[in-house]
Amino acid sequence: MEKSIWLDAYRTMRLIRLIEQRINDEYKFDEIKTPIHLSIGQEAVSVGVCMHLGKDDYVFGTHRSHAMYIAKGGDIKKMIAELYLRKTGCARGRGGSMHLVDTEVGIPGSSAIVGGNIPLGTGTALASKILNNGRVTAIFFGDGAADEGTFHESLNFASVKKLPVVYVCENNFYAINSHQSVRQAGDNIYKWAQGYGMLGFRIDGNDVLEVSRHAKKAIDRCRNGEGPTLIECLTYRWKGHIGTVDDVGEGFRPKEEHDHWVSQCPIKRFSEFLKGEGVLTDELMKSIDQEIFDLIEDAFQFAQNSPKPEPDELLDYVYAD
């Protein structure tokens, strides 16, 4: 990988982290009315995958999609405006944080229905195959979505049809407050791929280089007509499931587990690697952060100064009588 690509990946991970920290800080003012699900701690997965996708390739996300949207190049002004439910939002203020869309850069939408995005993305992959347009689809979903029938049906279908799709499971071990071990009989999400005649990997999702290597392999396979791949990325969310709460020490998650994963911060690990390679310095890190703070400030200003939808516009974009 070239050094400029590494730096871009670092910058994007940092943008995701800092924008989510700002969302976290602004949330207490109660102007952001939409429910939010933060990905702080999970940034390497989206970035490692999306860095190998072009503008025309598709991504599908979940209720926790800020990272994916930013990594795929979604417009951050429109994303923040969507959180404030403004007319200028990426879903025109109708969707909120869980329904991010930017069709200019291959984001047809994210879905709050757990497992709902998996057949949708399998559908764009089927369309790409029929149209022979070379577009790859990457679908991001959690370990909780792997409990759903849609996951299994989609994997089987994609494998039979050799569709150009990468299934990216962000296994953060929890669906709300239920640990994987009380929901799944085995500790084996990636092994399900084998049952469907598909290639499957389990990797360290906090190592952006490892994510990138496996994503590239999977995306190349799609482009060569070799069919789908499942990548299970082990990672961890630092915040509670929803909003800005911390759920550590309340009997939901062991503090030692949380602290271990915080010590495995994907951004810290990557910046240490880049410093060792001579690509990053403390000075450069500071100037990258300053550049990002300015972008974030612009996005929040844009959102807060944007108009709200009017009551008489309520039925706009509703297509059924």
Ligand X SMILES: Cc1ncc(C[n+]2csc(CCOP(=O)(O)OP(=O)(O)O)c2C)c(N)n1
**Which residues of this chain interact with Mg ion, rule CB under 5 A?**
142-144, 172, 174
User: Which residues lie below 8 Å from residue 136, measured CB to CB, with a gap of 6+?
Assistant: 53, 57, 58, 125, 128, 164, 165, 166, 219, 222, 223
Query: Do 96 and 85 form a contact (C-beta atoms < 8 A)?
Result: yes
The three-state secondary structure class of 253 is: strand
Q: Which residue is nearest to Mg ion (CB)?
A: 142
- Tell me how far apart the alpha carbons of residues 151 and 298 are, in angstroms, rounded to a whole number: 39
Q: Does 174 bind ligand X (CB under 6 A)?
A: yes
Min dist CB 50 to Mg ion, Å, is 19
Distance CA(135)–CA(146), nearest Å, equals: 24
Please answer whether residues 182 and 63 qualify as being in contact, where contact means their C-beta atoms are separated by less than 8 angstroms: no
* CB 30 to Mg ion: min, Å: 27
One residue of 25, 31, 56, 113 binding ligand X per CB under 6 A: 113
Of 42 and 137, which CB lies nearer to ligand X in the complex structure?
A: 42
Nearest residue to ligand X by CB is 142
In angstroms, the CA 266 to CA 44 distance is 6
Minimum separation from the CB atom of position 84 to Mg ion (A): 27
Interaction between residue 57 and ligand X (CB under 6 A): no
CA geometry: angle at 29 spanning 62 and 308, to 5°? 70
Please report how close the Cβ of residue 316 comes to ligand X at its closest, in angstroms: 26
DSSP state of 60: E
The whole-angstrom separation of Cα 136 and Cα 129 is: 9
Select the binding partner of residue 96 from ligand X, Mg ion, none (C-beta < 5 to 8 A, by kind).
none
> For ligand X, which residue of 14, 64, 135, 239 counts as binding (CB under 6 A)?
64
Under rule CB under 6 A, residue 176 binds ligand X? yes
Q: Could you say which of ligand X, Mg ion, none residue 266 binds, taking C-beta under 5 to 8 angstroms by partner kind? A: none
Q: Does 175 bind ligand X (CB under 6 A)?
A: yes
- Assess 114 for contact with ligand X (CB under 6 A): yes
- The site for ligand X (CB under 6 A) is made up of 63-64, 112-114, 142-145, 172, 174-176, 241
